[in-house]
Amino acid sequence: MVNGLGIVFPPLPLGFFHLRVVFTMDYIRLLFAYNIPMLTTPSGRKTFVVTCKRCRRDVPSGVREFPFQSITVECPLCGELRRYLPSEVFLGRPDGLVSRQQRAVRK
């Protein structure tokens, strides 16, 4: 019998099923070892954002539904007030600097 590390073991007698369970648990741990970024967190929610034309950061648009007309958004980083077409609005996450700036203003 060969485990996941390439080590060859002799065949086990019939009463030694617990050793096979240990090898199976190793495989399960390897299966979930690299899937942590796939888990969603409350901070990972996506909102409608626009890319600021001046500082090139993703800024929350402030709308809950997709806009069918142009919207006006003020960038919290550079303070510029700009108009954005519906084609410039997309579903994504705000930039980390923008999120930190908004949290600092709330406190």
Whose CA is closest to 50, among 4, 14, 9, 81? 81
Tokens standing for residue 69 = 């007309």
For the stretch 5-37, pLDDT in tens is 666 666 656 555 555 555 555 566 666 666 555
pLDDT tens per residue across span 36-90: 555 544 556 789 999 999 999 999 998 999 999 999 999 988 889 999 999 999 9
The pTM for the full model equals 0.55
Six-digit token pair at 28? Answer: 């399960």
The 10 Å Cβ neighbour count of residue 58 is 19
